[in-house]
Structure 1
Amino acid sequence: MPKTKTEAETETETPKMKPRPIVRLGIFLISHSLLVSVVCCTAGVLALLLLPLLAKNTYISENALMPGSASSMISNRDISEANRLANDLSDLNLEPQDTAAMESRRILTKYMSDLGAEVSYHKFHPKPNQFHPLHFFSGPDSTSTVENFSCSAYVVNTVGIIRAPRGDGKEAIVLVTPYKFGKSGLAETLSLSIAYTVFSLLSRVTWLAKDIVWFVADSQYGEYAPVEAWLRDYHTPVFTGLGTLNADTCVKIDDLYVLERKPIAQSKISDGFRRAGTMAAALILKVADRNELLEDTLTIYAEASNGQMPNLDLINAVNYLAVHRQGLRVKVEKFFTLLDSRWLEILGEIFELLGKVARSLNPGWKFGISAADYIEGSATLASSLYYQALGIPTGPHGAFRDFQVDAITLEISPKVSSHNKARHNEFLLRGGRLVEGVIRSINNLLEKFHQSFFLYLLTSPSKFVSVGVYMIAFALLVAPLPLVAASLYAEAYQLDLGVKNTKSTPTATASDALGITFRSWKWLYAAKEVFLIHVWGAAVLLLPYFICQVPNCSPTSSTVIWIFLSMLSLLIFYFIVGSPYTHVSISQPEKKGEWAILKSVTISAVFIGLLLMSVVNFATAEIGALLLVPMCLMAQPLKLDIKAGKLRSFLRAICNLVLAFVAFPPAAYFVVKTIFEGFDSINVGEFWNWMESLWAWNSATYIYMGMVHLPCWVLCLHVLLHSC
């Protein structure tokens, strides 16, 4: 029986396979990328504003720490010995600086040796702070010394080691006190007295299981340099040739050893470099020059290089002992200008009202905090985010974090009072007991800190936001980027995403498919441009090396020269490789989609750059996303908005210009500085000083500025100024 026409057509038709649900979801999101972008960006900014509300109370994760479980053992005898050391050092202030420095080292060595400690000296030369592109991410060169060497540049640190009676010498706890030998002030003498009080006690106890290293850093060239040099030699010992110096050129240094060896047994002092075990943790102890009006205050500094933070348990233990055992008021850094911010106060009142409404509906809902707590938490959170993004250590503890040692700086500010003996002894007792309690808690550990968080933001000394919470804001901000890039690509080449279901679709011929294939490869022009702009950004990063060679160049002049050379190099770059708008054999319909392809590739590059930066320094990626994502998503040729003649197009053009201005690196720096410090702090040279500090500390933020932020800004300008 012959088949009917309908049956024959049914057999010849091939059933159309439906895409998988995940593919259909992706196509749906790409097709509605505008709505997704608005929702995600709004939710990302809102998530950042909600972080102070989502902060949790800190807690001790490592049970072995047991802070405050034992009573303090510091006695009046330790306080008396510390006062005697302080008086002996203070009597040298009237002596010449060189003599006072030599005598103060001798006195300090004698006091350490009398306690039975092993005393040694660490000698190093401070390195000049010069930018070198080849040494940016490499380790410090231990063999480099100061040019035109003189004995005045020769720095000697004093190190005392107490061997643990119950330990095997494999672990150690480090206590650091910066001290200017020969020209110390009252605050530095007090910090030395507190450290000696603890050191004196630890030389007699029997429960000590880890070696104690007391490192007195000669801070005449800064507090960070001596700690970094000592840690470098501690972990990677090298022979710098310091022992072969001519004795005639450094008679004073030779005299130092002669004076020290007269009253001290030869077995207690060593010319060589002495070591203890692997460092479990480190405390940098300082007494601030300023005084507090109400009570003794402890300020904790924890940020290290490239946003690294110590284990949160170390901060928690210090905070618990300071507040609940010694009655100190604990602070962390905050932006005080935000405390008077009106818009932040309005947000706090709104969240407080929402919290009251939530509790009225269900008393079990603990949403919302008071407006005052929200403002305080936001100011502290902004400070924590900024200093992590800056990538510059806030104290000598940053040198320890580079060697994966948990460390913090404790700065104690004494209460204003008359210089009576009772108040002085009380201050030494409280400071000594705090350090003793922290060392005793670390001594209980059987392994390194690992239980608590390493990635977190502080909103107060007792509240924090973990990485699992604050990464949501970053994820929401960058989520629209790949969707918009795919949407622009599909729109530029008029690709069918399969969203609209048609009953009959004409069959594509081979020539049409071949035309689409050749046309789709046009994105390589945009990819080449994006790549070349990133190469130009790398060249801009190297310009400071040559600017530093200019003699007697002020920071303001250096900034102007840097901007001028960057613009000149970009023009020369265009002259060599050609303008980004002059492509050969591009028809008019394809030229209309050229800016869309350029924007698509730019957004893809920004997405990759932000993700890579989030691995190195999450805070930098967070702030960068706030600046770059809105500019990338809204960028559109100004000529199109002007031709449209609509209010919406006009507002979009204004927003694009504002975002382009704010995202320009110098402009962004001055805007942020104005918000936090006021308009009076504006100075063109400050931008050069800021960037100089970034490359001096090997901050990854400096690489981000030249390899991600600046190229993205230039490419978005290309899109805005594109001649459609």
Structure 2
Amino acid sequence: MALISSLLALRRDARILKLPPYLSALLIIVGVAWLLVLPLNEYSRNTYVSENALLPGQVHTYFTGSEHNVFRAYRQEVAALPDLSIEERNNKLADLFRESDLKVAKQKYTYQVADTNISNENVYAVLQGPRADATEAIVLIAAWKNMADEVNYSGVALVLALARYFKRWSLWSKDIIFLIPGDSTSGPQAWVDAYHDGHDPRTIESLAIKSGALQGAVAVDYPAGPWGHRYDKLHIVYDGVNGQLPNLDLFNTAVSIASGQMGIGCTLQRMWKHSDTYEERLQTMLRGMLAQGLGHATGPHSSFIPYHVDAITLVTVGDGWHDEMSLGRTVESLFRSLNNLLEHLHQSFFFYLLLQANRFVSIGTYLPSAMLIAANFSIMAIALWVQSGRPAPPPNPTATKLVKKPLKKLKFDGRHYVEVPDEPKNEKEPSDSDKKEDPTENTTDTTPPVTAVSNNGSTALVPTASLQVTERALLLPLLFTLSTHFLGLLPLYAFNLTPAAELRPIFIVTANILTLLPLLTAWLLRFSFAPTPQQTTLIQSFSLLLLGMFLSALATLNFSLSFMVGVLCAPLSFVRERKGMVASGVWYAVLVLLNPVMVCQVACWVAGVGVEEVLLKASEGWAVWGLWTQVVVWGVWFPAWFAGSVVVALGFFPE
């Protein structure tokens, strides 16, 4: 009973409000440290194929010998196409597919990005599986231009050669679709949208030929020049739009076939040399998190993953002894494995972090890292809410006269304590000695009043002030928090719809506005609404509460984006309205450096790319891929940053 009484008294102790900042800092440190230990062997494991039906590398491949001559003939045909118009080029490619006795169709599409139109045409052919009933299909892709804007000579020639080669086999239990889009991003997106009837018929042409449900897709990126070039390794690209990933079994099957059956080394995340050290594992993981967090398309395969079509891109890199025949046999064996599937890949992981080609971290191991960082905002929001309900301390406690009152007498009646009335006293005329002034009367008693609290037969004395809860003025904090979230729609609209030539001026103007806007807003609040300390505390509480909720939900969808935004917003848990220009100026300078526009500019400088290029690619992602990274930046990150900056800026304008 004594322990329960102590706990009841402790939960009302004002000193407990000093713990949340330290707990919040601890969660941030543990969350970052958790991420740093993931590359260790104790927290990661080797990859494995969960779907036994895939049987990677268990078949003999026959794409060799005379097929090499066919491939070189197709490469010569492709080498003559870059100088032709889009229509003439696709007519030639369609004729080459028809010569292999395939059904061929074309698709035109147009996207409006800023003030420019992205227009091109896709050409595709369908091989009806001899043992198939047109209910399932696999896609083989070779974009005319790869992500580096190079003509994919050998990749397109290899798809043409494989189409002719696959047509002669009678073992296919699924249809095979051969797709040659005009580019690596908008073309595949237009095609897969139209395949699933998710397109706008006014700008994207519907497909004339369709097959069954798509079970998987493999893209080939082999530029190699018009006359070919031998390669050293296969770079497997697997990142999808908005951070979505294909089933890990598809990646593991490709690695098993390429490295185990064909003897081709595999790499990922542009780590060309990987000696499996801790530093290289960590670098690979961080690069994967960056690509996932940005959410942009990294290859022709990226557009398929949002439709639950597992897809990867095989990119040839380096200068070695492997040629197009080894890549063709890799694709053949991979398609033979996918041909064995009786259902969608589902047994392996859809959420993972890869450390190298043969090692990964599952979601159950890495998810607490982002969740801990998100939890620190929720803890601070709750602490600020409790703090806002506490009565403000008097301006000069030592000068406040407190009346010393005796404690009430309590009596236990069997169930709880009840107050015992005072005994009557005999009143009599005070004597002269009684009239003498009591030396203890009219003195200041600095002992705070206490109240007896009973519970289950036990009593405890707690400060009376700690039991009081003041009324919270919620209107201004709620309106301000909602307004900041709506304010984020303005830059979201501006950056996605501004013409390309005006993106940099808009960026500079936005950077200057975000530097001064919190100061102007704080000035208006101070002299128009005169917010009380309780109201500024509630503004921070509501802002951090929404931030923690959003990041917790986002961590289950895009772990990397949630983690990055959480780390960049970490100082918001500790900023407060400071008295004095120096303290306010230091905190405000820190927050200015952490606003979304400034972070974007620094990131572009570190990566060596132009801001205009990044903004244009983001605008393209919004219009073509349905990218929602901008929504997180301007709808989650910016409102929290703005609210914290305004609270700090209030320190520049004393009451």
TM range (shorter): 0.7 to 0.9
Identity of aligned residues (%): 22
* 1:417-472 alpha-carbon deviations (Å, 9 max, x no partner): xxxxxx7xx61210110000110111111100101111112221222222111111
Query: Alignment partner for residue 234 of structure 1, among 181, 195, 200?
Result: 195
1:20, distance to aligned residue in structure 2 (A): 13
Which residue matches 1:664? 595
Which residue matches 1:482? 378
Query: Alignment partner for residue 189 of structure 1, among 153, 157, 174?
Result: 153
1:636, distance to aligned residue in structure 2 (A): 2.1
Q: What is the distance in 2 between the residues matched to 1:700 and 1:309?
A: 16
Query: Alignment partner for residue 47 of structure 2, among 34, 55, 58?
Result: 58
Which residue matches 2:634? 706
Q: What is the distance in 1 between the residues matched to 2:170 and 2:10?
A: 69
Please say if residues 193 and 428 of structure 1, whose CA atoms lie closer than 8 Å, have aligned partners that are also in contact.
no
| Matches for 1:320-359 after TM superposition, within 5 Å | 320-334=256-270
Q: What is the distance in 2 between the residues matched to 1:653 and 1:232?
A: 51
Query: Alignment partner for residue 525 of structure 2, among 567, 574, 579?
Result: 579
2:76 aligned counterpart, secondary structure? helix
Query: Alignment partner for residue 110 of structure 2, among 105, 122, 126?
Result: 126
Instruction: Out of 228-237 and 441-450, give the one that drifted further.
Output: 228-237
Higher strand share: 2
2:142 aligned counterpart, secondary structure? strand
In structure 2, give the amino acid aligned to 1:34: P
What is the RMSD of the two structures over their aligned residues, measured on CA atoms? Answer: 4.2
Which residue matches 2:98? 113
Q: What is the distance in 2 between the residues matched to 1:460 and 1:165?
A: 38
Q: What is the distance in 2 between the residues matched to 1:311 and 1:26?
A: 51
Query: Alignment partner for residue 415 of structure 1, among 319, 343, 346?
Result: 319
- The alignment covers a number of residue pairs equal to 584
Please say if residues 293 and 561 of structure 2, whose CA atoms lie closer than 8 Å, have aligned partners that are also in contact.
yes
Which residue matches 1:82? 71
2:123 aligned counterpart, secondary structure? strand
| Matches for 1:152-163 after TM superposition, within 5 Å | 155-163=120-128
| Matches for 1:520-531 after TM superposition, within 5 Å | 520-531=471-482
Matched, 1:596 2:537: yes
In structure 1, give the amino acid aligned to 2:641: W
1:68 aligned counterpart, secondary structure? coil
Which residue matches 1:175? 140
1:127 aligned counterpart, secondary structure? strand
Which residue matches 1:365? none
Please say if residues 390 and 699 of structure 1, whose CA atoms lie closer than 8 Å, have aligned partners that are also in contact.
no
Which residue matches 1:211? 175
Summarize the Cα distance change of 1:628–1:330 in structure 2 as closer, same or farther, 3 Å threshold: same
In structure 2, give the amino acid aligned to 1:722: L
* 1:38-87 alpha-carbon deviations (Å, 9 max, x no partner): 32121111111112223321110111111011111224232222222223
Q: What is the distance in 1 between the residues matched to 2:229 and 2:527?
A: 65
Q: What is the distance in 1 between the residues matched to 2:12 and 2:180?
A: 60
1:236 aligned counterpart, secondary structure? coil
Query: Alignment partner for residue 489 of structure 2, among 538, 545, 564?
Result: 538
* 1:383-440 alpha-carbon deviations (Å, 9 max, x no partner): 1111111111101112212322111111123636xxxxxx7xx612101100001101
2:186 aligned counterpart, secondary structure? helix
Which residue matches 1:618? 559
Query: Alignment partner for residue 248 of structure 2, among 299, 307, 312?
Result: 312
2:565 aligned counterpart, secondary structure? helix
Larger Rg: 2
Q: What is the distance in 2 between the residues matched to 1:240 and 1:618?
A: 34
* 1:211-268 alpha-carbon deviations (Å, 9 max, x no partner): 1111122x2xx32222222222222188958999xxxxxxxxxxxxxxxxxxxxxxxx
Q: What is the distance in 2 between the residues matched to 1:710 and 1:242?
A: 33
Please say if residues 268 and 356 of structure 2, whose CA atoms lie closer than 8 Å, have aligned partners that are also in contact.
yes
Summarize the Cα distance change of 1:79–1:659 in structure 2 as closer, same or farther, 3 Å threshold: same
Summarize the Cα distance change of 1:283–1:701 in structure 2 as closer, same or farther, 3 Å threshold: same
Summarize the Cα distance change of 1:48–1:238 in structure 2 as closer, same or farther, 3 Å threshold: closer
1:273 aligned counterpart, secondary structure? coil
Which residue matches 1:638? 578
In structure 2, give the amino acid aligned to 1:88: E
1:201, distance to aligned residue in structure 2 (A): 2.8
Q: What is the distance in 1 between the residues matched to 2:203 and 2:629?
A: 35
TM-score using structure 1 length: 0.71
Summarize the Cα distance change of 1:39–1:567 in structure 2 as closer, same or farther, 3 Å threshold: closer
Which residue matches 1:302? 238
1:592, distance to aligned residue in structure 2 (A): 4.3
2:323 aligned counterpart, secondary structure? helix
Q: What is the distance in 1 between the residues matched to 2:185 and 2:109?
A: 13
Q: What is the distance in 2 between the residues matched to 1:721 and 1:238?
A: 47
Please say if residues 288 and 413 of structure 1, whose CA atoms lie closer than 8 Å, have aligned partners that are also in contact.
no
1:598, distance to aligned residue in structure 2 (A): 2.9
In structure 1, give the amino acid aligned to 2:308: Q
Please say if residues 335 and 383 of structure 1, whose CA atoms lie closer than 8 Å, have aligned partners that are also in contact.
no
Summarize the Cα distance change of 1:201–1:32 in structure 2 as closer, same or farther, 3 Å threshold: same
Summarize the Cα distance change of 1:154–1:481 in structure 2 as closer, same or farther, 3 Å threshold: closer
Summarize the Cα distance change of 1:236–1:547 in structure 2 as closer, same or farther, 3 Å threshold: closer
In structure 2, give the amino acid aligned to 1:121: A
Q: What is the distance in 2 between the residues matched to 1:116 and 1:688?
A: 44
Which residue matches 2:330? 434
1:579 aligned counterpart, secondary structure? helix
Which residue matches 1:692? 619
Please say if residues 497 and 619 of structure 2, whose CA atoms lie closer than 8 Å, have aligned partners that are also in contact.
no
Q: Any unmatched runs of 5+ in structure 2?
A: 392-449
* 1:88-119 alpha-carbon deviations (Å, 9 max, x no partner): 343567xx624x963x545544443343322x
Which residue matches 1:722? 650
1:126 aligned counterpart, secondary structure? strand
| Matches for 1:252-271 after TM superposition, within 5 Å | none
2:529 aligned counterpart, secondary structure? coil
Q: What is the distance in 2 between the residues matched to 1:472 and 1:22?
A: 31
1:485 aligned counterpart, secondary structure? helix
Please say if residues 386 and 619 of structure 1, whose CA atoms lie closer than 8 Å, have aligned partners that are also in contact.
yes
Which residue matches 2:434? none
Q: Any unmatched runs of 5+ in structure 1?
A: 1-14, 132-145, 148-152, 245-270, 340-369, 417-422, 643-649
Please say if residues 335 and 382 of structure 1, whose CA atoms lie closer than 8 Å, have aligned partners that are also in contact.
no
Which residue matches 1:456? 352
In structure 2, give the amino acid aligned to 1:719: V
Please say if residues 334 and 382 of structure 1, whose CA atoms lie closer than 8 Å, have aligned partners that are also in contact.
no
Matched, 1:35 2:35: no
Which residue matches 1:199? 163
2:253 aligned counterpart, secondary structure? helix
1:638 aligned counterpart, secondary structure? coil
* 1:311-330 alpha-carbon deviations (Å, 9 max, x no partner): 11111100111111112121
In structure 1, give the amino acid aligned to 2:603: V
Q: What is the distance in 2 between the residues matched to 1:689 and 1:521?
A: 45
1:283 aligned counterpart, secondary structure? strand
Higher helix share: 1
Please say if residues 240 and 305 of structure 2, whose CA atoms lie closer than 8 Å, have aligned partners that are also in contact.
yes
Which residue matches 1:280? 215
* 1:644-673 alpha-carbon deviations (Å, 9 max, x no partner): xxxxxx7x985x356414421122223334
Please say if residues 547 and 562 of structure 1, whose CA atoms lie closer than 8 Å, have aligned partners that are also in contact.
no
Q: What is the distance in 1 between the residues matched to 2:204 and 2:29?
A: 63
Summarize the Cα distance change of 1:461–1:626 in structure 2 as closer, same or farther, 3 Å threshold: same
1:179 aligned counterpart, secondary structure? coil
1:556, distance to aligned residue in structure 2 (A): 2.5
Please say if residues 389 and 472 of structure 2, whose CA atoms lie closer than 8 Å, have aligned partners that are also in contact.
no
1:297, distance to aligned residue in structure 2 (A): 1.4
Q: What is the distance in 2 between the residues matched to 1:306 and 1:431?
A: 29
Which residue matches 2:508? 560
Q: What is the distance in 2 between the residues matched to 1:709 and 1:167?
A: 49
Please say if residues 374 and 548 of structure 2, whose CA atoms lie closer than 8 Å, have aligned partners that are also in contact.
yes
Q: What is the distance in 2 between the residues matched to 1:638 and 1:112?
A: 71
